[in-house]
Amino acid sequence: MQIIADLHTHTNVTDHAFSTLTEMVQAAEDRGLAAIAITNHGPTNPDGPHEWHFSNLDLIPRKIGKVTVIRGIEFDITAPAGGINVISNKSLKPVEFALASFHECMFPPADSSVHTAALEAILYNPYVNAFGHLGNSNFPFDHEYIISRCNDHGKIVEINNASLSIRKGSHDNCMDIARLCMKYEVPISVDSDSHICYRVGHVEGALEMLEEIGFPEELIINSSVERLNNYFKGRGLHLFDEEDLL
């Protein structure tokens, strides 16, 4: 099992991340990745960039060196009703891949029913592609209720390697969520959530967990160039040329 793209990374326009776009892309190339998504925090997160960061994302070349660059965002899920950061449609226009995640600074942890209702609202949000680091144990929710409905709303689930190492107690949640994705055939991505170039593409812990439960590779959208291409093609985005697919 392997990944060929890292779909959750931060550059230093996020204050608590340290590497430039150039360094992140170079790290992806050094790791042999075909693609990287740059997914900085939404503009109303205290650590997010100004929304002009997002409106200008299309300045980034589609391909830098050997790496295809996907223009992304990591929205905060906002309390209590499950909104996302306030951002204009103009600024969102270049965004090609959007995660939505709970962060304690933007959503004070409440109880499972509050979190489940917020996630349910995200299911209906047309700007969101994927749920980010759902395994955070500060945000318990009704796993089966949300995961079983992802396919109806075209949402994928991220298994976040950083959760397994830094978010205490996430391992069992991530495993349960992954098992449900398997049961309901919900596609997932496996990402590093790197805040520095040295971690780009490092998802060893997540892959180990997925292998342990026999998770099917076909459901991991970033496990091959062809699968990643098909995922984005289904959303009207042409990512790779024919020669990249060989």
What part of residues 192-231 is at the interface with Zn ion (CB under 5 A)? 193
Shortest distance in whole angstroms from residue 160 CB to Zn ion:
8
Q: Going residue by residue from 27 to 56, which x/- string records binding to Zn ion, judged by CB under 5 A?
A: ------------------------------
How far from chain centre, in Å, is Cα 139? 17
Q: What distance in Å separates the CA atoms of residue 135 and residue 166, rounded to the nearest whole number?
A: 11
Shortest distance in whole angstroms from residue 49 CB to Zn ion:
13
Q: What distance in Å separates the CA atoms of residue 25 and residue 41, rounded to the nearest whole number?
A: 18
Rounded to a whole number of angstroms, the CA Rg of the chain reads 16
Binding part of the chain for Zn ion, among 16-24, 27-35, 93-101, 141-149 by CB under 5 A, reads: 93-101
Q: Which of 180, 224, 171 is nearest to 34 (CA)?
A: 224
Shortest distance in whole angstroms from residue 226 CB to Zn ion:
26
- Please tell me whether residue 11 binds Zn ion under the rule CB under 5 A: no
Q: What distance in Å separates the CA atoms of residue 75 and residue 101, rounded to the nearest whole number?
A: 6
Shortest distance in whole angstroms from residue 162 CB to Zn ion:
8
Shortest distance in whole angstroms from residue 131 CB to Zn ion:
11
Structure-token pair, residue 3:
């990944």
Q: What is the DSSP letter of 9?
A: B
Q: What distance in Å separates the CA atoms of residue 11 and residue 24, rounded to the nearest whole number?
A: 7
Binding part of the chain for Zn ion, among 50-58, 69-77, 141-149, 221-229 by CB under 5 A, reads: 69-77
* CB nearer Zn ion, residue 74 or residue 96: 74
* CB nearer Zn ion, residue 14 or residue 91: 14
Helix extents (H) in 85-142: 89-92, 112-123
Partnered with residue 97 across adjacent β-strands are 72
**How many residues bind Zn ion, per CB under 5 A?**
3
Binding part of the chain for Zn ion, among 67-75, 105-113, 135-143, 221-229 by CB under 5 A, reads: 67-75
Tokens 């965004």 sit on residue: 95
Q: What distance in Å separates the CA atoms of residue 108 and residue 78, rounded to the nearest whole number?
A: 9
- Please tell me whether residue 101 binds Zn ion under the rule CB under 5 A: yes
Binding part of the chain for Zn ion, among 20-28, 98-106, 167-175, 227-235 by CB under 5 A, reads: 98-106
Structure-token pair, residue 34:
């075909």
Binding part of the chain for Zn ion, among 72-80, 110-118, 163-171, 197-205 by CB under 5 A, reads: 72-80
Residues in contact with Zn ion by CB under 5 A are: 74, 101, 193
